[in-house]
Amino acid sequence: MQRVVNSSFILLVVALLVCSVYSVDLNEFLAQRERLLAEESSRILGGSVILNADEQLVNNVLMAAKTLEFDQSFSTLDFIPADHYFLAKPAMLQSEVFQFIQQMPKGAVLHIHDIAVTPLEFIINDASYRPNLYVCTPPQDPVFFQYASSAPANLLDCQWTLVADKREQEGPEQFDSWLRSKLSLFTLTPQETYPNINSVWTAFENTLIAGSGIITYAPVFTDYFYQGLQSFYDDNVQYIEIRTTLPQVYNLDGTLMDEVQVTQLYKDTFDRFKNDNPDFSGAKIIFAPLRRADSATMTKYVELASQLKAQFPDVVAGFDLVGQEDLGPPLKDFLSQLLAGAVDPDLHYFFHAGETNWHGTDMDENLIDAILLNTTRIGHGYAIAKHPSVMDLARSNGVPVEVCPISNQVLSLVADLRNHPAAMLFTNGFPLVISSDDPASWEAVALSSDFYMAFMGLAGKKADLRTLKQLAINSIMFSAMSTDEKNAAMAEWQKRWNSFILNKYNEYKTKHNQI
């Protein structure tokens, strides 16, 4: 009897167990799975964008190309955003997704630096062929360039020669490729050439020093920025904010222009470009001198920023500091100067912050200082995912991060862009814009290269046209334009977007009918 009870009891337990295993019905589970995926899909950057019928068709075609590229990469393990940009660029140029992004109206570029705005072709093929340019090549980089009516006084370890003479001696092709190598970080062996973050930053700053001697010659300066705007305009970007150290611009006789005169040069150039291209929404500058300064200099910088903002309210967006963040000094060293500047309600901050892998250091904590100083945007914010309270404040105050994927890769913060922390910002719909930082230094294609890397490498396989559309809208919304300027820029962008969608729609319809 006892045995019987025992075995039926066991049977009962087994039956209950079996029931509980199957108590979640498969269909029910799949429905939950769908709901969870849909919820995540709605939280992604652009998740609340609703596409109209034409946009949906264009999206289907875009996503077919993106899916194909992902699937091929998955089987070959050869994924463009996982590779160093220098090696991946030829494949990127061939990508259908990249070409789509190139044609797309992308709105604005909000994080870019003066000495690396314009494609090197302008300096190499135009500026360096102008008369009176001298070069001085010490045994160690940087090399120096200067336009002058006669050879400048020799430096300690090098003599000035006319570029025209050197070019003739060496042969133009040889000379021009040498010149390119002094202005660009590009190499087919990035890991060996730049083994660590300090070596790549040193080389980077050397390219900027070399370029600045050419760019800051007054007649070149204005043409250089005109061509810079042109390169973004051609890349379907309609508005630009340029961070500038406001370098001393010089004339042939050696006379120098001050910051007010240089700001006026920017204004004249922007006006000339807008006059030639009425559908361009404009450009502004952010005064961004080197962070390696003493406190007296910082006081002067902040006062100058206020003064320039008052004198050129439509041209000057605000203030920032530049230079390798890891080497400091951190923002907190200048709190009294920066708090004094914050008293001016018209002076806005656009601080670089968290462009570092050194979690918990003073430099990493620039994110804390930037957000408490009411920065309007955060440059890079590469480390922000490690600062949840900064993220909360940034989100509630509408402070976006300016994500520059290729810059972070070339300047050694991350190798494989799938590991870029902004991937988490995308999935959480965090306010962000994509920018290109110093496209000329790594020979990026204006804004499109970074858009492509963000779309493919950061946003995930399923991010679609809604994400791209939101990125473009964000770039205008988070710009330093006035409300009126923003409204006009949004209207212009919408017009361009509608015609882009219509063109793409017709292109695909035609292709489809032909098949």
Contacting range for Zn ion; rule: CB under 5 A; set: 82-90, 229-237, 335-343, 432-440: 432-440
Should residue 342 be labelled a site residue for ligand NAG when binding is judged by CB under 6 A? yes
By CB under 6 A, what part of segment 367-426 binds ligand NAG?
373-374
Residue 71: both structure tokens together: 């699937």
Integer Cα distance of 64 and 511 in angstroms: 15
Q: Which of 111, 348, 380, 420 is catalytic?
A: 380
Q: At its nearest, how many Å lie between Zn ion and the CB of residue 351?
A: 10
In the residue annotation, 355 being an active-site residue is answered as yes
What x/- string results for residues 56 through 75 when contact with ligand NAG is judged by CB under 6 A?
--------------------
Should residue 437 be labelled a site residue for Zn ion when binding is judged by CB under 5 A? yes
What distances in angstroms separate CA 230 from CA 76, 175, 508, one per listed residue?
Answer: 38, 26, 29
Question: Can you tell me which of 31, 339, 424, 491 binds ligand NAG, judged by CB under 6 A?
Answer: 339
- Render the burial of 433-465: b for 16+ CB within 10 Å, e for the rest: bbbbbbbbbbbbbbbbbbbbbbbbbbbbeebbb
CA dihedral 120, 442, 352, 382 (to 10 degrees): 160
Residue closer to Zn ion, measured from CB, 46 or 318: 318
339 binds, among ligand NAG, Zn ion, none (CB under 5 to 8 A by kind): ligand NAG
349 and 320 Cβ atoms separated by less than 8 Å: yes
Q: Which of 219, 204, 438, 429 is nearest to 327 (CA)?
A: 204
214 binds, among Zn ion, ligand NAG, none (CB under 5 to 8 A by kind): none
Q: Residue for token digits 């994927």?
A: 405
Residue closer to ligand NAG, measured from CB, 110 or 373: 373
Integer Cα distance of 419 and 457 in angstroms: 8
Q: At its nearest, how many Å lie between ligand NAG and the CB of residue 384?
A: 18
446 and 237 Cβ atoms separated by less than 8 Å: yes
Q: Which of 355, 365, 443, 492 is catalytic?
A: 355
437 binds, among ligand NAG, Zn ion, none (CB under 5 to 8 A by kind): Zn ion
Integer Cα distance of 259 and 309 in angstroms: 12
441 and 204 Cβ atoms separated by less than 8 Å: yes
Per rule CB under 6 A, count of chain residues that contact ligand NAG: 4
Q: At its nearest, how many Å lie between ligand NAG and the CB of residue 239?
A: 26
Residue closer to ligand NAG, measured from CB, 373 or 433: 373
Residue closer to Zn ion, measured from CB, 325 or 365: 325
Residue closer to Zn ion, measured from CB, 55 or 241: 241
Integer Cα distance of 472 and 145 in angstroms: 38
Q: At its nearest, how many Å lie between ligand NAG and the CB of residue 372?
A: 6
List the beta strands (DSSP E) in 80-158: 107-113, 133-136, 144-147
Q: At its nearest, how many Å lie between ligand NAG and the CB of residue 339?
A: 6
348 and 317 Cβ atoms separated by less than 8 Å: yes
Residue closer to ligand NAG, measured from CB, 209 or 342: 342
Positions touching ligand NAG (CB under 6 A) are 339, 342, 373-374
Contact set with Zn ion (CB under 5 A): 437
Positions marked active-site: 355, 380
